[in-house]
Chains A and B, each alone.
Chain A
């Protein structure tokens, strides 16, 4: 019950944040320099009358607040407006492009977690030994190297020099094998992974490096806890101490970082999609900015903002679920 109420409470709390996101995005998009209608006409000379007609058609002649209200009413119905530049509903564009981005971000996180947690634990148990020093250097490089550069290097090495992996595009596991001309689902899965590998590593390295360091610090702290001393004194095997007693406590900050770094990961996805030529939301975003397609810019910003808010809520809830000390607000 407590958890359910807490969830509802967090969702309600998020509403003002979401409204804030729409207001700021709307104002910023409209303050941006450049006139979308003129941009659409790409420098062609047209009558003032034509411009006014187009403006009327898209409601650009009305005052800002009126346009905001209309926008919000449409938004609540799932309509994010119409892309002037592409002449298609923004919602359709987003749905079409969301899959690749989610696939990329989720796999990058999976990669980061699967590598960072064991490596962090190993570094913690071999504190100040060579393994630990190596992991420290790897983490430092991982944190300080831009993901797009890692992406380019990976392409140079694994796609161009060695020719092992493809350098661009993704294969989507939700499409039928026939679409790509593959023999079956096994090949589809294989190709999906082959295509995903490089962008996943490029995007996940930063997360991996951060998480690994946090995991190490947390495990060291946890292993020095009195409860670990007590477990040892009662003859609990060292493996159990590591896997259960120390581990469980050490994971709490990891969850926080995963949740909060979601924005970094989505930002990184923009660059990685560009480098690897993936048709995701990130690339769509870049194209939208270049063409000043502000209905699309707003749509993407709102969707990414909302995803981030959802990420934070999920973090909070899972925290409350895992750490019994987090109260749900209905206790002291």
Chain B
């Protein structure tokens, strides 16, 4: 897109320095968020999604620290390093101070909605007073006006009798209602970007549906951009415009949502999609991703997904691919970090497959249906590929 992105993240690295070693929770991710779009950040638990999103607000607590990269928001540098005269990296002069991030960015420019609506509200204050506090802090409104805004916002997110509910405490609200309150908080501060960190994970499916519809509707009304952090591909399909798939601290695939679903370029994304029940495919058995995600303390050599990848070859163990543009769709790049694509110019084609159980799992069971399914999906994907 030609327009300047609202938020640009470049090569962001956030690490946790623990006794057991350095945890590279976010290891060089780059993505952009443009005005008015919902960008998904998808991956398994522990992929670094939440750490990445909290890094954007510089809300990483010790022993964690942002150690590299650049975060630019509306032309302001939320985080940026430069090389000092002594050769050491130091914070850039134009980087916002902690106080500036707190007063100028948090809440009024970038707001968040957290995963757990049960714990996110303070149990000893009324819902209204919490809402009002955040509004007063982030907008130039008088006491009375902030109260009115809070009530209006509660009504806006579909809370019945907002005047009465304003005076009530969080424990008097259901999970879904509390999540609505959190959405009201985020919108009431009139930010340009909202980070929604797994906002529907703690809710049951019907409520999840309602919340997603609500966000969709309000997003269009207020034209706020969203970063939607989730592990649920179904939610991604429903709400996101563009998607970043994260694996072990890295973004392995980045594409507009339809492109990602119909022309998947990374085996991990493929595996994620296969492991999810889909209404457009009938299968006897879901196909989970084999193994567990390795620890970010000592990631595997080469491509980090190779020990679980059905397409892994010898070369994958050696080459660590960056996220490269492999196609374009809807004016956005489709990036993937997998050396099987030609742009990497690797010796993937000549390399021999490795036995990691991931590929074997699909083929060795003698059952014909199983093998057949694996086969057909493979070619299905292949058609799009070529």
Residues of A whose CB lies within 8 Å of any CB of B are: 225-227, 229-237, 245, 248-249, 322-325
Contact = CB atoms under 8 A, between A and B. Distances in A.
Interface of B: 57, 59, 102-103, 105-108, 111-112, 114, 116, 119-126, 133-134, 137-138, 169, 171, 182, 185, 189
A327 to B, nearest CB: 9
Main secondary structure on A side of the interface with B = helix
A234 B123 contact: no
Contacts of A230: 112, 114, 120-121, 182, 185
A324 to B, nearest CB: 4
A271 B106 CA distance: 56
B108 to A, nearest CB: 7
B171 to A, nearest CB: 5
Contact of B138 (A229, A234, A237, A323): A234
Contacts of B122: 225, 227, 231, 245, 248-249
B169 A234 contact: no
Contacts of B171: 324-325
Q: What 7 A-B pairs come out closest when comparing CB atoms?
A: A235-B106, A226-B119, A234-B107, A324-B169, A227-B122, A235-B107, A233-B112
A227 B121 contact: yes
A323 B123 contact: yes
A234 B137 contact: yes
A248 B137 contact: no
Nearest to B99: A237
A322 B120 contact: no
A217 B119 CA distance: 18
Contacts of B137: 234-236
Contacts of B124: 248-249, 322-324
Contacts of A231: 122
A236 B111 CA distance: 12
A236 B106 CA distance: 9
Given A234-B111, A235-B103, A235-B138, A226 B123 contact: no
Contacts of A248: 122, 124-125
B125 A235 contact: no
A245 B122 CA distance: 7
Contacts of A229: 59, 114, 120
Given A248-B124, A248-B125, A325-B169, A233 B106 contact: yes
Contacts of B59: 229, 232-233
Contacts of B112: 230, 233-234
Given A227-B123, A235-B103, A325-B171, 10 more contacts: A225-B119, A230-B112, A232-B59, A232-B106, A233-B107, A233-B112, A234-B106, A234-B134, A236-B133, A237-B102
